[in-house]
């Protein structure tokens, strides 16, 4: 997989500009309320950046995100990334 767009200052900046941005607050709050370590939260956020990058490359909107799309990411993209 190519790195995130170089126009963004960080992977998190890319994520905050992605289609998943409206959901980041709830996701972060969920992880923090679960008392995850900050390093674990950072790793999970980077995983979400990877997923958001794949969504952008496939031009996949949140509305089209379903079990089939997630399985395609896991079964087809990740093994070759």
pLDDT at 1: 47
The token duo for 3 is 């790195």
pLDDT at 10: 79
pLDDT at 13: 84
* C-alpha separations of 35 from 12, 27, 56, 78, 81 in Å: 20, 13, 30, 28, 30
Residue segments in the chain with a per-residue pLDDT below the cut of 50: 1-2
Burial class of residue 15 in the structure, from the number of CB atoms within 10 Å of its CB (0-12 exposed, 13-18 middle, 19+ buried): buried
Please report how many Cα atoms fall inside a 13 Å half-sphere around the Cα of residue 25, on the Cβ side.
Answer: 1
pTM, rounded to two decimals: 0.77
pLDDT at 16: 83
What residues contact residue 46 under an 8 Å CB cut-off, 6+ apart? Answer: 11
């Amino acid at each position: 997989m190519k790195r995130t767009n170089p126009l963004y200052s960080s992977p998190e900046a890319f994520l905050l500009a992605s289609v998943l941005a409206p959901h980041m607050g709830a996701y972060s709050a969920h992880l923090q309320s679960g008392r995850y370590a900050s390093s674990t939260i950072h790793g999970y956020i980077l995983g979400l950046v990877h997923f958001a990058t794949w969504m952008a490359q496939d031009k996949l909107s949140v509305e089209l995100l379903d079990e089939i799309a997630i399985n395609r990411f896991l079964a087809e993209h990740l093994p070759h990334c």
